[in-house]
Amino acid sequence: MSVSLWCEEVDEEQNQNQTALRAGWDPSVSGCRVIQRLLHVEERYSPSVLYVSLIQQEPGRREELTKWTLQVCCDCGCDEAVFPLAVSLVDRFLSALLTLPVSPVSPVCLAAGCILIASKLTECETVTAELLCAAAEHDFLPSSLRDMERLILATLRWDTAAVTPQDFLPHFLASLEERGGTFGTELLSTLRRHSDTLASMCVCDSQFLGTPPSLVAAASLNCALRGLGRTCHTELVFLGEILAALCQTDVAVLQCCSEMIEGALRQRLRSGLQRGPSEKGEEVESERPGTPTDMRDIDF
């Protein structure tokens, strides 16, 4: 008697050449209720004030580590949610080291361990320990990486599903549409991609360390709307007020954070052009910073 599987699974050999399918957007799991829940728990995953102040005094080493983490996530084809979650785990672990008697750890092995955990939380096909060891030029063994994974989980007490700016972006976009935003399918996809790029830039930049993920997400989306230049000034003001209300902040705070993101983007684009053959920094200064469609277009 033949029995068909309810989910119509196929064996591994038949599935080798197929792309993994993901569930579509479900409107029933969006809206103000979900945003309120995310706002309620986001502070729980923030690093300590002491850690933020120490890092902002000497941000170089953290930015090198986040840049390496971003490069590995891009090279491994990770989901967009892996990178910000991995960096959040790195910051929370290092923040905990200030108060816990834990021996010093290898920064690269720590970042690889956080990528491994973030990939397991967000992806169906996770990054392997062997691939991460190769990305680190075999600076550590797979067994050492698994030991690091256990150390991270024990230090964070297995509370690893942190709230990141990327968690807010789809809900903010859906709320803007519900409240009068006129976005076509193509524009909506572009806004999501550009705002995700800007939010990832903020994750790398230590000056945004300690800023609530909701504010980073709202300001990144606000910058993307302004950078695309497809919306009139009146509508931009209206959408900015909605974003400020969604993340429960003042409009002036949102605009200040947006200007900080645009300033950071200008600086990074200028730095990239200075390494190019013919572009001039003055040309970048005179224009509003556009929002690149790929994270690697920015000189992180």
Q: What is the CATH number of the domain that holds 139?
A: 1.10.472.10
With respect to residue 261, please indicate whether it lies within any of the assigned structural domains: yes
With respect to residue 232, please indicate whether it lies within any of the assigned structural domains: yes
With respect to residue 222, please indicate whether it lies within any of the assigned structural domains: yes
Instruction: Give the pLDDT score at 203.
Output: 93
Residue among 253, 169, 207, 213 at smallest CA distance from 45: 213
Would you tell me how many other CB atoms lie within 10 Å of the CB of residue 14?
A: 9
Q: Which residue matches tokens 């949102």?
A: 254
Based on the domain organization, do 184 and 262 belong to the same domain?
A: yes
With respect to residue 148, please indicate whether it lies within any of the assigned structural domains: yes
Take residue 64 and report the two structure tokens written for it: 């090198």
pLDDT digits (tens, 9 = 90+) for 207-266: 999 899 999 999 999 999 888 876 678 888 888 899 999 999 999 999 999 999 999 998
Whole-structure pTM value: 0.80
With respect to residue 218, please indicate whether it lies within any of the assigned structural domains: yes
Based on the domain organization, do 62 and 99 belong to the same domain?
A: yes
Take residue 9 and report the two structure tokens written for it: 């699974």
Q: How many domains does the chain have?
A: 2
Query: Cβ(117)–Cβ(104) under 8 Å?
Result: no
Based on the domain organization, do 170 and 229 belong to the same domain?
A: yes
DSSP 18: S
Q: What integer is the mean pLDDT of 149-157?
A: 93
Q: How confident is the model at residue 41 (pLDDT cuts 50, 70, 90)?
A: very high
Based on the domain organization, do 137 and 207 belong to the same domain?
A: no
With respect to residue 133, please indicate whether it lies within any of the assigned structural domains: yes
* Structural domain span for residue 202: 165-272
Residue among 50, 38, 60, 82 at smallest CA distance from 216: 38
Q: What integer is the mean pLDDT of 72-101?
A: 90
Based on the domain organization, do 82 and 103 belong to the same domain?
A: yes
Instruction: Give the pLDDT score at 274.
Output: 59
Domain end position, chosen among 156, 191, 223 = 156
With respect to residue 225, please indicate whether it lies within any of the assigned structural domains: yes
